[in-house]
Amino acid sequence: MLQRVIQQFKLNVVSINGVEDSHSSTVYKCKLHNGENIFLKIPYTKLKYLRELEAYEILKDRVSIPQMLDYWQGDEECPGAFVLSELKGRPLTNNYVPTIAYQVGILHASMHQIQPPAALKLTGIQNEFPNWSNFVERQFYSFAEDVKEVLNEGLYRKAIETFENMKLQLPPSDGPSFVHMDFRPANIIVDEDKVTGMIDFESVRFGSTEIDFTKLYRDFLSFDSSLYQSYQEGYTTIRPLIDLEVVLPFYRFTDAFNSIGWCKRRGIEKHAAFFEENLSILKKVIL
């Protein structure tokens, strides 16, 4: 498949390296004969390809993202592929200072400012906002059968009860906004003291911003209160921020539950550490 995609784009490739931590696409970093680095991205499904394609059109010149240099709509064997420019820098880690968190807040809020485009007909990116509670419930229960197979009966039953009780406490939804759905450090690129942009848009929706803070909090903001405060300060320079203390517990819980189901689907042994991390989060909320 990789060689077919390279031939399709007529790329003169010198070296190829697979990119880790990409869970919904196969991604390769390629060095071309002219010395330039590009990324080849092959989504797992046609829907993920369409979301990515439409996201680049919507986000272009509005937030910092790679440049889409070329794309191929695929065929019977390949869902499609992209050639993307390289954002300078490396993925965010929790070792960065509050000034970086401030910039992450600005980047995130700038994306959340974007509303469904009236003039652009979308076939990949769904607007889930009008029925947001149904969307959240649908996601949760789509993983429930998988979760049921790996949790003991008592814990599973308490998880369902917790979901039904907590969702009633949620404030009105905030949107409709462009939400990344996977806004985590691995998808935020930093070059020394500057956030250079974000990547990976195969899961994006238009919906409520409340779902979009969970992974960033889990993997970055929760490690240091100064990071959390600086992020919020940066965010509010662009748009008002919802009360995270109210919504985060619910979405941290549902994200942990859904992630357990994801691990079951993708293989518990292969994702054992991630499974245990989310099981721990789930138990803290329930017990």
- The domain that contains 105 carries what CATH number? 3.90.1200.10
Question: Would the pLDDT of 23 be above 70?
Answer: no
Q: Are residues 185 and 95 in the same domain?
A: yes
Q: Which domain holds residue 52?
A: 2-86
Whole-prediction pTM: 0.91
Is 55 a residue whose pLDDT tops 70? yes
What are 143-172's pLDDT values in tens digits? 999 999 999 999 999 999 999 999 998 999
Q: What is the count of structural domains for the chain? A: 2
Among 86, 116, 142, identify where a domain stops.
86
274 with 136, same domain? yes
- Binned at pLDDT 50, 70 and 90, residue 104 comes out as very high
Whole-number Å distance between alpha carbons of 252 and 275 = 14
Higher pLDDT, 97 or 241: 241
**What is the rounded average pLDDT of the residues 191-213?**
95
| Angle value at C-alpha 200, between 194 and 204, nearest 5 degrees | 115
Average pLDDT over residues 225-238: 96
16 & 41 share domain: yes
Question: What pLDDT digit, counting tens, does each position of 249-274 carry?
Answer: 999 999 999 999 999 998 998 889 99
Rounded to the nearest 10°, the torsion over CA 16, 21, 27, 29 is -30
Report d(CA 138, CA 133) in Å as an integer.
8
